[in-house]
Amino acid sequence: MAAFTVRDIPDLSGKLAVVTGATGGLGLETALALAGAGAEVALVGRNPAKGRDAAALIRTRHPGAKVWFEQVDLASLSSVGEFADEMLAEGRPIDILINNAGVMALPRRQTTADGFEMQFGTNYLSHFALTARLLPLLTTGQARVVQLASIAHKGGRIRLDDLNHERGYRAWPVYQQSKLAMLMFAVELDRRSRANGWGLTSVAAHPGFARTDLIANGPAVDGGSLFEWGVSLLAPVLSHSAADGALPTLMAATASGVVGGQYFGPQGWNDMKGPPGIADIRPQAMDPEVATKLWTASEGLTGVTF
């Protein structure tokens, strides 16, 4: 069977997609492909200038594309809530929600506007809250809901006793936890959708090792020259483009035959690059007891319920 490409995306005319972190990198590539297939796309991000540029680029590539920018700071639950309220007031069903935005391995511990550790708060809690608030529109649209996880989940552990890593912050384990949480969220949301009749197709995807600004804005943000040097040596061999990195997400969001609870990623060596397909889910991501406790804790931290 031929590998999935953007040419395999079905006609999405009349469908509404919401993509977080859509002003650059994987999110922009995802939005470009969805708009190219006819979807109306809400580009969610925090930088209006980048948002305008992203929308202009998409319209240049796909004249007549229906795209617009929504300013949302995913490091602020109030900003997430304001956006969700706006969407709910409009009342239009959402067909595709892609929770893509994220930060990686910040060298020093930072916090969101709500006091959460930045990676856990931005990568996971904000998307948990956004999905919960948009649930009425997602159920009406019988939506595909895609959580962006990572190969980093393989070494992750959910620290239920210290989710915000207030003790002994270490950048990489915190990132691993946030991405493990995203994968567990996708699986648990599928289970709850089936139990409650929400009609969602809840799945996850990861890009492998894609060439984006994630490293420059994360591990290298304080001048991590050694890290950047190592990555620059490995990238030509081990990585692929942001466009290729977006293919697992696009497959998860649009391909026929997708089943809730599935996980998509590159099929090459160590899942780093290659054509998209079904990815490996490590056992800790499938632990129902931890997933239930994480869900309950997330509702408590964010103040939202499904």
| Confidence at residue 146, expressed as pLDDT on a 0 to 100 scale | 98
**Among the ranges given (111-115, 249-253, 273-277, 295-299), the one the predictor scored with the smallest mean pLDDT:** 273-277
Q: How many residues are given for the chain?
A: 306
Q: What's the average model confidence in pLDDT over 212-221?
A: 51
Between 76 and 231, name the one with better pLDDT.
Answer: 76
User: What is the CATH classification number for the domain harbouring 49?
Assistant: 3.40.50.720
Q: What's the average model confidence in pLDDT over 83-112?
A: 96
Number of domains composing the chain: 1
pLDDT band at 218 (very low <50, low <70, confident <90, very high): very low
d(CA 117, CA 16): 31
pLDDT band at 225 (very low <50, low <70, confident <90, very high): very low
| Domain assignment of residue 251, yes or no | yes
Residue 251: which domain range?
12-299
- Side-chain half-sphere CA neighbours of 42 within 13 A: 22
E strands within the chain?
16-20, 40-45, 67-71, 96-99, 144-148, 201-205, 263-266, 276-278
| Domain assignment of residue 43, yes or no | yes
| Domain assignment of residue 7, yes or no | no
| Confidence at residue 235, expressed as pLDDT on a 0 to 100 scale | 55
Label the pairing between strands 67-71 and 40-45: parallel
| Confidence at residue 268, expressed as pLDDT on a 0 to 100 scale | 81
Closest CA to 146 of 282, 276, 297: 276
Per-residue model confidence as pLDDT tens digits over 17-28:
999 999 999 999
**φ and ψ at residue 148, rounded to 5 degrees:** -85, 110
| Domain assignment of residue 196, yes or no | yes
Q: Which residues are catalytic?
A: 175
CA distances from 187 to 12, 16, 30, 281 (A): 25, 23, 22, 10
| Domain assignment of residue 163, yes or no | yes
Closest CA to 240 of 266, 213, 205, 202: 266
Label the pairing between strands 263-266 and 276-278: antiparallel
| Confidence at residue 212, expressed as pLDDT on a 0 to 100 scale | 64
Q: Give percent above pLDDT 70 in the chain.
A: 90
Q: Are 20 and 83 in contact (CB under 8 A)?
A: no
| Domain assignment of residue 75, yes or no | yes
Q: Is 70 exceeded by the pLDDT of residue 222?
A: no
Per-residue model confidence as pLDDT tens digits over 266-281:
998 787 888 999 999 9
Q: What's the average model confidence in pLDDT over 111-128?
A: 98
270 DSSP assignment: G
pLDDT band at 233 (very low <50, low <70, confident <90, very high): low
pLDDT band at 60 (very low <50, low <70, confident <90, very high): very high
| Domain assignment of residue 2, yes or no | no
Structure token pair of residue 287: 């632990």
| Domain assignment of residue 306, yes or no | no
Q: What's the average model confidence in pLDDT over 90-116?
A: 96
Q: What's the average model confidence in pLDDT over 60-78?
A: 97
